[in-house]
Amino acid sequence: MSEADSDPDQYVQENKDTLVRIIKHGDDKFVRGLALAAIIRYGDEPLLHDIEHEIDRAKQDMEERV
C-alpha cells in the first residue's frame, strides 16, 4: 500500500460519487454512516453542500408522506 492509497482526503475526492451513491441508496445503515462520516471529515465544501441538499430533500419527502 502506498502513501497515496492511505490518504483519506484523496480517497474521498476520487470516490465521492460512489460514497454519495452509498449514502443515497445503500441498504446497510452502518456502511451508509461510514460513507457519510468520510464525506463530512474529508470532503470539500461543495460536496458537503450537495449532501446537505440531499438530506433536506429526503426530510421533505418524508414530511410529504406523513
Q: What is the pLDDT of residues 10-66, one digit of tens each?
A: 999 999 999 999 988 999 999 999 999 999 999 889 888 888 888 898 888 889 887
Q: Judge contact between 44 and 13, C-beta under 8 A.
A: yes
No. of helices (H) and no. of strands (E), the chain? 3, 0
pLDDT confidence of residue 3: 58
Helix-helix angle 8-25:45-65, to 10 degrees: 10
Q: Would you place residue 5 in the very low, low, confident or very high pLDDT band (cuts 50, 70, 90)?
A: low
Question: Hey, where are the domains in the chain?
Answer: 7-65
Q: What pLDDT does residue 58 have? A: 83
**Is the whole-model pTM more than 0.85?**
no
pLDDT band for 2, please (50, 70, 90 cuts): low
